[in-house]
Amino acid sequence: MKFIELLFERIKKNYQGLGIIAIAFIAVICLVLNSYGPTLGVESFGNESYVRSVYELDKETTIKAIVPVEEDSEALSLLFATYARSNSGQVSIKIRGTVTNTLYVERIVNVSDIVDNAYLTSKFSEKLREADKQVEIELSSNSENGKAVGVYYTTNSYFDNSSFTINDEVMDGYDLSVRTLAIDSSYQNFANTLIAFTIISFGVLMAYALLLEPRKEVLFAISAFVLGLIFMIIIVPMSPPDEQTHYELALQISNKMMGVKDNLIDSIYLKYGSMYGHYNISAGYGRLMREFLQPLKLTGQMIKPAGDLEGRYLIPYLPISLGISIGRMVGMNMITMFYFARFFNLLFYVLCVYLSVKTIPAYKSLIGILMIMPMMLQTSIAITYDAFVIGLSYLSFAYFLKWFFAGDVIEIKEIIMVFLICAGLAPAKVVYCFLAFAFIFVPTKAFGSRKRKIITNVILCIPAIIALYGIMAAPLSFMFKKLFASSNTLSLTLQETKDLIIANVNQYDLNGVGIREGVTFNTILTNPGAVLEIFIRTVRYRIKTWFYGSLGRSLSGDTLIIPLKMVHIMVGIVIAQLLVKQDLSVPWWIRTLSVIMCIVIGLYILIGFFLSWTGVDELLFNSNNAAIFGGQVVEGIQGRYFSPILPYFFILFQHKKFGLSEKSEKYIYCAYLILLFSIIIYILSYTFVN
């Protein structure tokens, strides 16, 4: 009774804000669902078993194709490329029946709205006529050359009774890259159920934040859990980066937990049907619907999962492996066990969210919102160690600020806690071991004495020093002791490697892996100017992509691209949260430390991917990057690698003298939930036609 009275009292007190949020949420629901694409679950044509190429669709180009369609087809998807550049103009798409000449699709699409390497789906305006067994697709554009998108086509014939022409020139043996799709009621019901659950969950979360005004650590922990459950479903198995690799490693750790001596497992646990690495495809939803509660049926065929545990740091895999072990012991099938393992990873991340928001003395809502950004939600439910890394990184930042503003001497239990964080983080991903060195800058008064500060920081930095030594031992030996002979590839200069390749050019395929000689640390030492130029060029052209990616613009394997306008709103919400007045203000030298931290970690990432991903053949012979960026860039760096240092970046822009009141935080939180609802609906719409 008292709870109901309190609830009504809070409603009366906050009725204006509650009404505004409710109206905004309902408006967004209506707008988003009105633009929600068709729920298309059955793909008639268009698997990935062919080689593709791209033709630029500018104002001088008209592309026509005739492709077969099945009688239940209700939409057609075309694959476009943006060439990683800003394009302008419009594309015209017309689709008509070859027999009845019925115009099923006629639309104009702004080139700026087309997403790179993603299917653009057009729903037929009416039911496909029985006589139309084929449709003619006509594509044209008013874009200038160099500002137009490209259209994918197959470099081998894929369809029967098809044709493909470019500017009336028949392209024999080629086909337009097309997918035709049909509506499936089971997928429609799945989507409707998930959308209804999302609307109810978000409504409850907003009411909880506005009316009950809970402690922030409780609010964001519950939010991370609920949102994580939704992301667990909408991000299909194996689509996050390297999830299959980490899953099979976790299976081997599960074998150790369960005492399996030969490290073999039934092949049913490695059945990857309806899963497509790094792509969020609707077939994954279909498998979830079909098999989630089905009984386990072992094949009796025992095989060893891929990967080797020797020399690997296994602690980050413990939550995942524990979930897998429990799932195997109770007889879960592969897909159920997979989601159960994801669930255990989510629980660990939710614990990190709770502890981080509770520990940090200020900026609680800022760190809370950052920890439920789309990228963090994806990593929290993926079977990878990224949830472990990001969770501990944010917890490390929370303790750093707590110690920095500490009014009392730090307790031993907190020192032990931070040591465990550093010991867990440094071996997991060495690049983030630098976060341990931040505690050196905590004022001496927080430790009680200079001696205690020195001892504590030495202890905290031991894991980082060991991890760095393991990575830097060979380069340091090369630099200072010159242990490597000139014939060793580790000591080859860039020019020597080039001479070696050219001298043996007949033995290599310039487009294959045979030529690939890895860039070495000596390349940096002997060509510092050239390497620095590559680094500057990489940062210049990629920093915006990394920043947006760290928040979650690029999900799955960097293939599920969130619309840029949503990302801009996301950044605006974070900025609004930064404008909320805080009782504590970060001094200039801590901001300087944050800048140094971001630069050091960013530079380490650049060097690491320069050495591990950039082959000398790419550096010397690859002209693709020269055409796009004006020269070679470092490849392989993703925005998610910068997610752990986002708090250090955003803390730079906090200002104590002006800003919003603390009461505005709950409205900022609700605004973010409304945005996240739009993102979830977009992901569903994307996946159901992908």
The full DSSP string for 382-400 is: SSSSHHHHHHHHHHHHHHH
Residue 320: is its pLDDT beyond 60?
yes
- 456-468: average pLDDT: 87
Confidence of residue 501 (pLDDT cuts 50, 70, 90): very low
Residue 422: is its pLDDT beyond 70?
yes
Which residue in the block uniquely carries the two structure tokens 């928040």?
A: 551
For residues 615 and 635, give the distance between their C-alpha atoms in angstroms, rounded to a whole number: 10
Whether pTM exceeds 0.85: no
- 294-312: average pLDDT: 85
pLDDT (tens digit per residue) in 519-548: 666 667 677 777 888 888 888 888 888 999
What is the pLDDT at residue 38?
A: 44
What is the pLDDT at residue 81?
A: 82
According to DSSP H, which parts of 181-333 are helical? 185-207, 216-234, 243-257, 282-291, 318-329
What is the pLDDT at residue 493?
A: 47
The residue with greater pLDDT, 521 or 303, is 303
What is the pLDDT at residue 31?
A: 57
What is the pLDDT at residue 519?
A: 61
The residue with greater pLDDT, 582 or 393, is 393
What is the pLDDT at residue 389?
A: 93
Residue 387 CB partners (closer than 8 Å, separation 6+): 319, 345, 346, 348, 349, 379, 380, 381
What is the pLDDT at residue 219?
A: 94
Chain Cα centroid distance, residue 122: 27
- 442-447: average pLDDT: 88
For residues 323 and 337, give the distance between their C-alpha atoms in angstroms, rounded to a whole number: 7
pLDDT (tens digit per residue) in 223-257: 999 999 999 999 989 889 888 889 999 999 999 89
pLDDT (tens digit per residue) in 208-227: 888 888 899 999 999 999 99
Angle at 276 between CA 331 and CA 288, to 5 degrees: 40
What is the pLDDT at residue 498?
A: 45
Q: Report which listed range, 454-458, 493-497, 627-631, is most confident.
A: 454-458
* Crossing angle of the two packed helices 2-13 and 15-35, in degrees rounded to 10: 80
For residues 498 and 500, give the distance between their C-alpha atoms in angstroms, rounded to a whole number: 5
The residue with greater pLDDT, 660 or 386, is 386
pLDDT (tens digit per residue) in 539-598: 888 888 899 999 998 888 777 888 888 899 999 999 988 888 877 777 777 888 888 888
pLDDT (tens digit per residue) in 471-486: 665 555 544 544 344 4
- 473, 430 in Cβ contact below 8 A? no
- 620, 508 in Cβ contact below 8 A? no
What is the pLDDT at residue 475?
A: 54
The residue with greater pLDDT, 616 or 645, is 645
Residue 336: is its pLDDT beyond 50?
yes
- 401-409: average pLDDT: 86
Confidence of residue 413 (pLDDT cuts 50, 70, 90): very high
SS3 90: strand
Confidence of residue 503 (pLDDT cuts 50, 70, 90): very low
Residue 369: is its pLDDT beyond 50?
yes
Element (H, E) at 180: strand 178-183
- 221, 357 in Cβ contact below 8 A? yes
Element (H, E) at 338: helix 334-359
The residue with greater pLDDT, 167 or 45, is 167
For residues 687 and 679, give the distance between their C-alpha atoms in angstroms, rounded to a whole number: 12
- 659-675: average pLDDT: 85
Give the 3-state secondary structure of 524-578. HHHCHHHHHHHHHHHHHHHHHHHHHHHHCCEECCCCEECCHHHHHHHHHHHHHHH
pLDDT (tens digit per residue) in 101-122: 999 999 998 888 787 777 788 8
Confidence of residue 19 (pLDDT cuts 50, 70, 90): low
What is the average pLDDT score of the chain? 80
Residue 331: is its pLDDT beyond 80?
yes
- 259-263: average pLDDT: 83
363 — alpha (psi -120 to 50), left (phi > 0) or beta? left
What is the pLDDT at residue 625?
A: 54
Confidence of residue 516 (pLDDT cuts 50, 70, 90): very low
What is the pLDDT at residue 41?
A: 38
